[in-house]
Amino acid sequence: MNGEQVDRKRFLPGDQDMSEAETVLYEVRDGIATVKINRPEMRNALSPAAANRLHDLWGEVDADKNVRVAILTSADCGTFCAGLDLREASRVKKEEGVDILTKMKDPFHGRQRRVAKPIIAAMTGHLIAGGMMLSLNSDLRVGLKGTQVGITETRIAGRGSPWAIPLLWMLPQPMLMEMVLTGDLYPIETFHGLGFINYLEDTPDAVRARATALAERIRDNAPLSVMAGKESILTAMSAGCDAGMALAHNIYRAAYASEDAQEGPRAFAEKRKPVWKGR
């Protein structure tokens, strides 16, 4: 067992000497929970430890009667979240012979969407792939001017984005189609103009300050009314969304089981351009 732990640390520079609790920090103060992804050396990419920690923390947010609202943020490194840790995905496949998603309790972060209390995303950097997923799973969003947004799975990871289906209710369909098909990056200002981002600020500190101000206003409102407001809006949206997501997961099944799904992380880890085979 000890030998396996040493090997794991050797292949996980981002989590070296870091407990699961340290990959995502958690604090509750004055009725506001702060959930902070803490892997700046890996651009806050989601390892199994970080993803599983997030899953568990959303349960804590719901269970703690003292928590009225949550802020989701990350350590400053220029990127809010880079999505799946592709280097770790390549390592897991090579060393353990399994796909990295099998090591995550909730690989598409559905638990976050079911949190009863409002979540404010304080995004102090770029939103890439899974970073966009965490953003859309939040209820309010504060972003940093000059950063970029993208759903890059088709271009980098060779996987898919069934989690993006709720964006059909949040962004124009032609833009979402372009994002999913091209994997390109776009200025965050575009999404602010479309209403997806509530506020844009000039600095990371200003992003956090705005998120805190919003959280304080929500915290001070009637808690049952706040939770009912969130639930009613999402329930109305999900009357069509849930069925669409189920279909999307089925449609993407072949992509996740493909050779390309392994080529993406492998090429990323080897610092080369992926060679897609379409199978």
pLDDT score of 9: 34
Tokens of 103: 């090591």
User: Rounded to whole angstroms, how far apart are CA atoms 31 and 262?
Assistant: 43
| pLDDT value of position 240 | 83
**pTM of the predicted structure, to 2 decimals:** 0.86
- The position carrying tokens 């091209």 is 182
In angstroms, the CA 124 to CA 170 distance is: 21
pLDDT in tens, the chain (279 residues): 233 332 333 334 445 556 888 999 999 999 999 999 999 999 999 999 999 999 999 999 999 999 999 999 999 999 999 988 888 888 889 999 998 888 889 988 999 999 999 999 999 999 999 999 999 999 999 999 999 999 998 898 888 888 999 999 999 999 999 999 999 999 999 999 999 999 999 999 999 999 999 999 999 998 889 999 999 899 888 878 888 878 888 888 888 888 888 988 999 899 998 888 888
Q: Identify any residues that bridge with 186 across adjacent strands, giving them in sequence order.
A: 149
Instruction: Report the length, in residues, of the chain.
Output: 279
Tokens of 26: 């958690």
DSSP class per residue in 103-165: G-SSTT-HHHHT-SS-EEEE--SEEETHHHHHHHTSSEEEEETT-EEE--IIIIISS--GGGG
**What whole-number distance in Å separates Cα of residue 38 and Cα of residue 124?**
13
pLDDT at 8: 32
What are the phi and psi torsion angles at 102 (to 5°)?
A: -70, -15
Treating both helix axes as pointing N-terminal to C-terminal, what angle do 86-96 and 260-269 enclose, rounded to 10 degrees? 110
The predicted pLDDT at position 256 comes to 86
